[in-house]
Structure 1
Amino acid sequence: MDITKTVVSLRETALLYGDYGTYHTQLSRKLLNCRKKLNIATKNRGKFQNKGTATAEQIGENYEYLRLQLLTAERTWANAMCMKATHSADTKGMNSKTRSHIVSRLEKGAKTAQNLANALSQTAASGASPTDVLEARAYAALLKGAAHFEKQNWEGCLKNYAVARILYTALAASVKEDIFKDLLSETIDPSIRYAAYQAKIPRTEPVPNIARKAFLHTGGELVAQIKEQFPSILEHSSLDDKKGSTRSDSASSTLTWRGREVKIEDAAIAVAWASVAAAKELLSEKVTSSGQLLPKDLAAAYDDILIASQDAVDATKQAIDELKGEGVPQSDPRMQGLQITRTAVNFEMISWRIGRNRVLIGKDDGAHLDFGEATRKKKKADGDSILDHGQDLAPGRQIAKLKEKVVLYDGILQSIESVSELPGVANDQELSSRLEAIEEYFTALKCLAIARSHSIAGNALNALALIKHALDETSSALPVLSAGSNAESVSSPRSIHVSKDDAKSLHDLLSGELQRSRALVEIFNSNKMSISAAPQSGDTSKPLAAQLSNYPSGSIDLENIVSYPPQLEHIPVKPLFLDVAWNYVDYPDKTTSREAERTQGKASTAGEPEAKPQKRGWFGFGR
């Protein structure tokens, strides 16, 4: 029959394109069509006659009677929600007449849903399955809980919503559909939490425990049925994993921040904070037992603790928003405790975010010249593979690697700035001074990375200036970082805390780099002076265009490139008479044969008349 799926799909489809008024109109149209199918529709201009509730036999014969009851209950609910949404924007609030009208509509819908559940309970006549009966009872309890919520009857609201939660939990365990989980997380659990707060139930009590206790107090055959069919639901009435109950039992009840101990009154914050502590222990174990890991693999180990700390931040923000919505002032002790908790959990989350960036940068926070992880492999001649650590990369590739480090340093500096803006941090002089020192430490590392890129590009002067600035930043941060305890050991995971060993190591490295950069600049300046003082090769009076065959050994005079204004000059060319003279050159071996030919020709022509020249051309004339 899919009662829950039908109701949820009707609401989602209508509310996706409209409001509760649109939903009410659609339900009225669907109800008319349903009555026409059952041949019980009121004729035009006729008087409406209530045919009564659907019986089990009618539902067994035609499921349209079931749909008729669902649409009737949903229309009353949509009408009540439409009135509530209309008057929610009023500055004076909702008057008693409107509230009573809303309650009456919800009670009518709950009565219709309860009649449907009673009819389906007669499984022999209605043909309903046990799952259909549980869905009908859960739907009726959901509407009853909404009616008691509007009447501000918190005890009745808790009982009905507890029944709905237990039944939907049992259905989710048996049917394995997410639609029941969505109902619990979006509608039922927030209502139970608010009703429990109004009923003076401590916030440290988890919602599953509140629902289980309220459900057991109802008694009746429904409790016995759930104990018989789903005994584990009443023991672990949570849709989370099997560790949900143990997590809530072992949840931290206190939080310590800067020497101040705060009692955690919200159950969600306590569970999330306990998850952060557990994730921290797992991270420490991975760091100590992993051995030599690549930076990307080590940074992936921070995902669990970042997710847990983000959950703690979200739970704290939700608790603060709830108190603000209830009109609790900032001077209230609960609000003060939540503000301290907010600062603590945000500091924890940002601290681990900085730690992951430090791991990605590399060993010693990228202070030493290392171009990241060993990702490429080279083949030796004997077939063995060796790792390439990037030391033979091209200059452009090295600068690109340094740019990636600078981006990570920028992310760390932005995170430190967000920590400084947390409530209460500015008033803590010790913490503020330490955060400034940590910011100067990472600023020095950023300047060092940029200086190395300038050094690779050949800008020695820029590199010297940046290293000098980095050394000044480190010298300012070193006394503050050395005053505190060594917060980080070699085996502990990286976080926002900078140890005095790291600060001293960076200071010593920058001192050496400063001397090296000064030496490079001195060599660069001396070479420049020697080049400018060296005599230039070639004739300086000739322009550069006239000396293209000579490579300039010194500097080039850019003011003497060509002769201007241009003048007539001799240009060496090939003599033409050499081509003509070549026609008269005879080889020695042909001299005798040519003289014999001349003598024979004279003898043959002595006794013969002189031959006339032949005519050329077709017609006797021509050339």
Structure 2
Amino acid sequence: MFSTSYQVTSNYTMQVDQLNATKGALYTLDILSLTSEARNSYGLRRQEYGRYRHHCTQRLHRIRKTLGFTHGKDKSFATRPITAETVTDEKYLHLMLFQAERAWGYAMEIKALSVALDDTRKQQHYMNRLKKAAKTAGELEALCSTKAGKVDVRSALDAQAYSALMSGYVLFEAQQWQGALEKFSAARAIYDKLSLAGTSHQEALCHAAMDEIDPNIRFCGYRLRLAKDGVVNVEELVKMSAANKGSGSDVLMREIEHLIAQTRQEKAQDLESIHWRSKVLPLKNPKLATAILAAQETAGELKNLQGATSEAKMEHFDKVLQAYAEAEKHVKKALKEDAIAAAKVKSSKSEQNTADLNMIATYISYSILRNAIDRNLLLAKDVYNKLEGDEATTDRNEDVHYQNLVKAYDNVVQNLTAIQELPGVNTDTILTSEVGNKMLYYKAWRCFFTATAYSKLSRHVEAIALFDRAQSYASQIRNTLGRASSHGSGNDADSFNVTEKDLQEIESKIRGRKCQVHAAWYLENGQEGGEDIEDKLLLMSLDEKSLDEPALIKRLDSYPTSITSKANPTVPHLVDFPPALQPIPAKPLFFDIAFNFMDYNHDALAERAGRPKAAQGSESSGGGWFGSIWGRK
């Protein structure tokens, strides 16, 4: 066992030395960039696989003419293989790549034209094209291997991932789920690591490739019955597949880690300073810069774990803390060396260098404590979900108690206290104020869950006192909330601000839980005269059968079975007092509005009365415009 391990390690070291010795002659083959650009530019955005296949054919012809590497025509046609000795230009590698792409595009074209692939010949043709693509990708991987010594490490890993992906497609269509899962997992693992070693564009391409692979991994896991509660965790399947592959996977991971370390050193050379809380901290120690950069990159990977499980996030938080602990070792070593140098020769620049190193040490300690706080909050959230959230069940784990929540928030408060005690933090008044408010906020949550634990034990008096203490913490935050919000943080990502929404949430929780505890206490201790309040609450109902009988005066025509009410059995229920309102009849209202619209024969009335006939157009004093107001007479 030991000899095999030594042989693998020594072979890997020899390969790396060979690459470094011939670094000037190494080619670079960015497969992801080449294929992504070609696919997006020539038809694959609209699923035009035929157009993409024709583009690959034309591109291959142009490359062959440029290299003078044609096969000949008619009788002189002869296939010219590409070997490691043939590769004197990176365009030979492009030939192999686009041969594989042409075969893959042809296979996708056949599948797109006949979705069901009911025809056996079409199915066989489709599989032959896929196998051709996988075979060519395997030959490209051999040309790009570290043994061939033609390309750099990143290109070799990129070719290996591309070959694994094409082989995975073949096994997937052949319904060999275990083999397909291993190939897809290997490709995804390589792309995941390559995303850490490269430019932002290369990182985006790697993440896009991973997004395309994930559905295939999930389907393979589903067919292999590896789903837990109906959900297939891609990260776990990739880890499981890597663990089953053995030493080959270990060698691959060492190559990737070597590439990441190499890329990180190149980035560290450009990292001249750290910007933290409106401060610029110069970095002159290359080892310290590399360690800080590694910790920052590890912490940045947390953004890619939004949909991961709590266990995966906790495991990654441990990696982040370990990375910052490594950086802390380097800064302590740098401070020790600086102290030895300052003891020999003192100057103004040496004092400034010491101050900068001390501030960098504060930054690293702050980062450790900040990530420890986030880890404890994640743990608290997980415990809370098991106790009261969506994951809460009646048969929950006996090891999960409210004491676990109290312990998590107590650790958060201790971490915040440690931040306040860091050197140089007391000069940052904004950070000091934010940390103080945040400490009160988490103390309120700690009191809240402590009170809840007491209430579960029916110790309501202690619970109410703790709820009052939690409310007092919230009141202290509210008194300083306006002043704290008026000052901005030096860095929003490092802000410890307590928002109005956070404060309203804790206050609402305290009020609601306190009312519940008050009610529980009254149910146990608020009984007077032997009356049971719980029984009275159970008697309350809106059922008509449970209502009292009418008063005695309303049922004199029937023999009374009882003359008392249920509310007070000792007092006779003779009449309702106060009496209830009842509808009564009322005199209808009439409005005499028809009079203004009646037309009388005034001439006939005048003749009967013996009066002279009125002149035409003349009217009585009640006519005219004013008469219309008072009514006609």
TM-score by length of 2: 0.39
TM-score by length of 1: 0.40
Please identify the structure whose Cα radius of gyration is greater: 1
